[in-house]
A and B are shown apart, each in its own frame.
Chain A
């Protein structure tokens, strides 16, 4: 009897993966098989829909496998499977609570697969998954859905930003938050937005608007999520970016190529090498791309004044708010950050602080930091004075503990940095006396206050405390009292320094080239163009921290004006704008004083002369701005002569490093007093930090050997000799004593020759 020929499916019943593989290779020939399976799927679906809870997928082929199979080959038979995605969606939306967990996961996975095959679009998928994410009681399903939603949003934004999808999702999230403010469901909107913000997929004001709504919700969790986002979201984003840029540097192409040359050659290794090369190229490309400009969430807020006011009145002032102290502190931090950053006016905020400013109040340093943060130059001194007085009374006294006193002094200093007018002379003179304190923290804090007022309000100090520069300044009239609301007149600080420096540089260069020091205007222009280009390039190199200079956008002299519209250049453009407006408004400010109009007219001209024309005629490159900052620092350092100029320099550096947007923390208020509290363990940990892991005590030699062994490297001859079995060396050692003179000579000669030749075998290739 001849062997019966059997079809693949008869041989192995229910071999769906096999069939799937065949269909993928040749859909047309297997369309009948597919239709059979699809029919099976349909009948199983009917059974399932007839009784979703009791239907168990027993038997050889489960419903789950069929769904998986159909989802995988659905793109080969688009017309037959038109109803498939909607089937899955209805099953999931109607029965997600009662479905068996594996089947549920399979359906979600299949929907995502259909999305990847572009049978359904992202909006459809997300509109199905999102309501379930919010509604389902199952934790595993929630995590799965959350992950799938995020990954889908990421992939659909990977190549280019999908504005339409983003907008629909953002609207859905916004509606979720605003429809029911008391429900905890809004936490999902917060989570999704935060994650996408962190990954820089959503960087627009709409996302910030969502978080704003979250911060104004009624549910504690949602409020916490929203507020935390504003306080930490941007930092998180920066950290992630740093991490990812660290990661990318990891691949060493040279090593990989070398390995591929040595190891067994297979298709797999070849492919992996190609992939690695591709990846490296991609990262290179990414590096050379212009740095995306991301505004922090606090800057993207539409109506910071209204937001701060509602936050304050709803969560803090309202006696019915259910927040606990920790949450209230978070909200307070956000409100004070907003007030400080945008210079808002929320007068009732300051009186709110009064009852919390006692040393017994839990986490009082945070309150102090918040208060300082909420202070800015436009806060009326009347509102602040009682607060400063209260801090001084409650915290700073001989009787109070040293930490308390130093915290109080630090807080007062931080407030006065921002609004010097909040202080009166008796109090200041009283506080300055603490610089004689025995406690270092208190002493430093008092000295800080003293040096601050030498700069901003020396006339409040006693004469002998004023110091040399301040006294001389007052006498000569160069230091004047600043009034409330007064703004400094002028353009960009230190701009004339930059101009000077540039002229000098140009001179130097011309001298190098051997040209006369003063060139014609045309030449100057050429030079400056060149310089400008270099300035942009430099910036690119600096920001990427890499030595290879890639192609930055070429700034041609013709395109100069157009380019100022492009995004990449906003910081410079903004500065220029500000400057021009400042110079324009220049004649108006003095015009307010009508009496001295004539006098002022002369003065104005002088001023205008003084104000450099650099900023109005040229666009400052980022390199220019960096240089400007440096020059400014240098100038302020050189102004202060004396022995402690070094420490002053350091302080200025610190000040410059601290970005204006960075929040003031409780640690800064606590100051030095915290530094001494570190225990022995902390010190040990600090000392250990940065040193490698040392499993056991071994000699350095042994450690080095171990490392070499791990890398699979060979031993040196010396090491081999050291390891040699003693018995094997014995014979040679015994014989050495019995050698005749000729033998000894031969051995010695041989040694010399070997060393010349370079070893026993010599360097044959030479």
Chain B
């Protein structure tokens, strides 16, 4: 409480309104800070002084780095779309401005990108890459794809499936036989679809509160791609079967004694790397894959498949496709087991 007229006056002062006058500039507020400054010269930091436009290859590299490391979503997407048009508009037999071995490691992390438009654009770009180059880099691509498949965000999971689909299209054999490609990918499928079970869980069933596995609309699609993946891993391709059946009769398993056509033929021996466990191992033979699948995943897959069949509708149909693939793939497994 102010005890005197003077104090009252002092208090009033705070709430007085400034009078505006015609023809004069408005009074500056109390807390006005003068931010003007004087400079003798202005230096432009990034001024390009070249007369010629940058070459297309350097521009390509620039956009590549933008796409891989820019902070803004739109910039990444635009850079990617620039790269896509560059590739698609180029004549068919002209080599890539940069080799795939440089492009892929830079762009693969974008599978986990937060923006959906970037991921869609990335898939478009990847489809333009030469098919023959992908096979050798399937392992690193799968690393990111798996991370995408188990990602928290549902959209990223869906898009990662699209990437896997593309990988299966272009490098089927490599995807299932590269180190970790079979077991680890199947594991991420299991956790994505909610079919995984904790190794330490008790026998009590608890109603899962997990929101992760229930993918809703995406579920049939997941089933279909799992079917594709299993088909690639478990079902013998047509040519091999032909060879086997038709075969030059006295010669058995000829292709196994030929000079291998694939690169790094002895990679599965893992002569130089650190030792791998069951998950990270390479499963080159179909029989190996069948064995591991049967041991680790078949019960879970069949249980999940049965549930999905009951759902009917789209999911049921997809489950039927899966069942067919499974039957086909595992048909000759038991007799293989007998002969051993």
Contacts and interface: CB of A to CB of B under 8 A. Distances in A.
Contacts of A727: 4
A43 B211 contact: no
B140 A36 contact: no
Interface in B111-150: 112-114, 140, 143-144, 146-147, 150
A43 B164 CA distance: 15
A40 B206 contact: no
Interface string B5-31: 000000000000000000000000000
Nearest to B151: A40
A77 B198 CA distance: 9
A80 B208 CA distance: 17
A9 B156 CA distance: 14
Contacts of B196: 32, 35-36, 39
B105 interface: yes
A28 interface: yes
A433 interface: no
B209 A79 contact: no
B194 A32 contact: yes
Given A32-B194, A46-B180, A50-B143, A60 B153 contact: yes
B152 A40 contact: yes
Given A47-B143, A60-B114, A79-B200, A29 B209 contact: yes
Given A31-B201, A32-B213, A37 B152 contact: yes
Contacts of A9: 152, 211-212
A58 B191 contact: no
Contacts of B180: 46
A78 interface: yes
Nearest to A54: B105
Contacts of A79: 198-200
Interface in B159-218: 180, 184, 187-188, 191-192, 194, 196, 198-201, 204, 206-214
B258 to A, nearest CB: 32
Interface residues of B, number: 40
Contacts of B191: 32, 35-36, 39
Interface residues of A, number: 40
B182 to A, nearest CB: 14
A396 to B, nearest CB: 72
Given A29-B209, A33-B210, A47-B144, A14 B152 contact: yes
Quick one: which of A29, A46, A80 has the most chain B CB within 10 A?
A46
A10 interface: yes
Quick one: which of B146, B192, B209 has the most chain A CB within 10 A?
B209
A254 interface: no
Interface string A34-71: 01110110011011001100111011110000000000
Contacts of B3: 725
Contacts of A10: 154, 211
A58 B107 CA distance: 12
B147 A44 contact: yes
B109 interface: yes
A58 B109 contact: yes
Nearest to A28: B206
Quick one: which of A29, A43, A61 has the most chain B CB within 10 A?
A43
B11 to A, nearest CB: 16
A578 interface: no
A29 B198 contact: no
Interface string A203-228: 00000000000000000000000000
A8 interface: yes
Contacts of A22: 209
A28 B146 CA distance: 25
Contacts, number: 114
A7 interface: yes
Contact of A61 (B152, B206, B211): B152
Nearest to A22: B209
Quick one: which of B112, B152, B211 has the most chain A CB within 10 A?
B152
Quick one: which of A7, A9, A29, A33 has the most chain B CB within 10 A?
A33
A50 B140 contact: yes
Nearest to B147: A43
Taking chain B's interface residues, is the majority helix, strand, or loop, or is none over half, making it mixed? Answer: loop
A39 B143 contact: no
A731 to B, nearest CB: 16
B206 A33 contact: no
A13 interface: yes
Interface in B194-250: 194, 196, 198-201, 204, 206-214
B137 to A, nearest CB: 11
A30 interface: yes
A432 to B, nearest CB: 79
Contact of A31 (B109, B113, B198): B198
A40 B153 CA distance: 11
Contacts of B146: 43, 46
Contacts of B113: 58-59
Interface in A722-747: 725, 727
B211 A13 contact: no
Contacts of B188: 39, 43
B153 A36 contact: no
B120 to A, nearest CB: 16
Quick one: which of B140, B150, B194 has the most chain A CB within 10 A?
B150
A28 B207 CA distance: 10
A93 to B, nearest CB: 14
A388 to B, nearest CB: 72
Contacts of B210: 7, 29-30, 32-33, 36
Given A40-B151, A58-B109, A29 B200 contact: no
Given A56-B109, A725-B3, A32 B150 contact: no
A39 B199 CA distance: 13
A54 B204 CA distance: 44
A58 B211 CA distance: 24
Interface string B329-340: 000000000000
A80 B199 contact: yes
A725 B140 contact: no
Contacts of B112: 58-60
Contacts of B209: 7, 22, 26, 29-30, 33
A14 B153 contact: yes
A13 B105 CA distance: 26
Nearest to B204: A28
B222 to A, nearest CB: 14
A39 B187 contact: yes
A303 B199 CA distance: 58
Contacts of B151: 40, 60-61
Contacts of B109: 55-56, 58-59
B198 A36 contact: no
A401 B161 CA distance: 93
A725 B1 CA distance: 12
B198 A80 contact: yes
Interface in A413-440: none
B213 A13 contact: no
A78 B200 CA distance: 8
Given A43-B143, A61-B151, A725-B4, A8 B199 contact: no
B7 to A, nearest CB: 10
Given A14-B153, A33-B211, A46-B180, 12 more contacts: A7-B212, A14-B152, A39-B150, A39-B191, A40-B147, A43-B188, A46-B143, A54-B105, A58-B113, A59-B113, A60-B156, A725-B4
Interface of B: 3-4, 105, 109, 112-114, 140, 143-144, 146-147, 150-154, 156, 180, 184, 187-188, 191-192, 194, 196, 198-201, 204, 206-214
27 contacts: A7-B211, A9-B152, A10-B154, A10-B211, A13-B152, A13-B154, A29-B209, A31-B201, A32-B191, A32-B198, A35-B196, A36-B191, A36-B192, A40-B147, A43-B184, A46-B146, A54-B105, A55-B109, A56-B109, A58-B113, A59-B113, A60-B114, A60-B151, A60-B152, A61-B151, A77-B200, A725-B3
9 smallest A-B Cβ distances: which pairs?
A: A7-B211, A79-B200, A43-B147, A32-B210, A39-B150, A59-B112, A40-B150, A13-B153, A43-B146
